[in-house]
Structure 1
Amino acid sequence: MKEVSIHVGKRIRLYRKMKNLTIETFAGMINKSKATVSKYENGDISIDIETLFSIADALDISVNQLVDYENPASLSETEGEALTKRKAGKTRYYLYFYDGRRGRIVKNIIEVQGVGENGIYNANFYADLEDYTNCYKCKFLYHGTMRKFDAFTNFNFENQNNKVEQVFMYAINSFTHNSRMVGMLSGLSTHPILPASFKFLLSPDIMEENEEMKEQLVFTKEDIKYIKKMNMFVINQHP
Structure 2
Amino acid sequence: MKEVSIHVGQRIRLYRKTKNLTIETFAGMIHKSKATVSKYENGDISIDIETLFTIAQALGVPVNQLIDYEEIGEEKGEKGEIIKHNLSKSKYYMYFYDGRRSRIARNVIEVQDGGEDSGVFSANMYASLEDLSNYYQCKLLYHGTMRKGDTFINFNFENQNNKVERMFMYAINSFNNGGRMEGLCCCLSTQPILPACFKFLMVSDILEETDDLKEKLKVSKEDIRLLKKMNMFVVSDHA
> Contact 1:88 / 1:115 at 8 angstroms: preserved in 2?
no
Gaps of 5+ in 2: 76-84
Q: Which residue of 2 aligns with 1:191?
A: 191
TM-score scaled by structure 1?
0.92
Q: Which residue of 1 aligns with 2:96?
A: 97
1:208–1:151 Cα change, 3 Å: same
Indicate the SS of the match to 1:68.
Answer: coil
1:176–1:32 Cα change, 3 Å: closer
Q: What does the per-residue CA deviation read over 1:158-192, in whole Å, with 9 as the maximum and x for residues that have no partner?
A: 00000010000012122655210000111000000
Q: How many residues align?
A: 229
> Contact 2:97 / 2:217 at 8 angstroms: preserved in 1?
yes
> Contact 2:124 / 2:143 at 8 angstroms: preserved in 1?
yes
> Contact 1:87 / 1:114 at 8 angstroms: preserved in 2?
no
**Does residue 166 of structure 1 match 2:131?**
no
1:175–1:167 Cα change, 3 Å: closer
Matched residues in 2 for 1:44 and 1:143: separation? Answer: 27
Matched residues in 1 for 2:128 and 2:175: separation? Answer: 28
Following TM superposition, by how much is the alpha carbon of 1:74 offset from its aligned partner in structure 2, in angstroms? 8.3
List aligned pairs for 1:25-174, cutoff 5 A.
25-73=25-73, 89-116=88-115, 118-174=118-174
Name the structure with the higher strand share: 2
Q: Which amino acid is 2:31 matched to?
A: N
Tell me the percent identity: 68
Gaps of 5+ in 1: 76-85
1:23–1:221 Cα change, 3 Å: same
Matched residues in 1 for 2:158 and 2:149: separation? Answer: 21
TM-score scaled by structure 2?
0.92
Matched residues in 1 for 2:112 and 2:175: separation? Answer: 22
Deviating beyond 2 angstroms after TM superposition, the runs of 4 or more aligned structure 1 residues are 70-75
Following TM superposition, by how much is the alpha carbon of 1:70 offset from its aligned partner in structure 2, in angstroms? 3.0
Matched residues in 2 for 1:214 and 1:87: separation? Answer: 30
Following TM superposition, by how much is the alpha carbon of 1:119 offset from its aligned partner in structure 2, in angstroms? 1.5
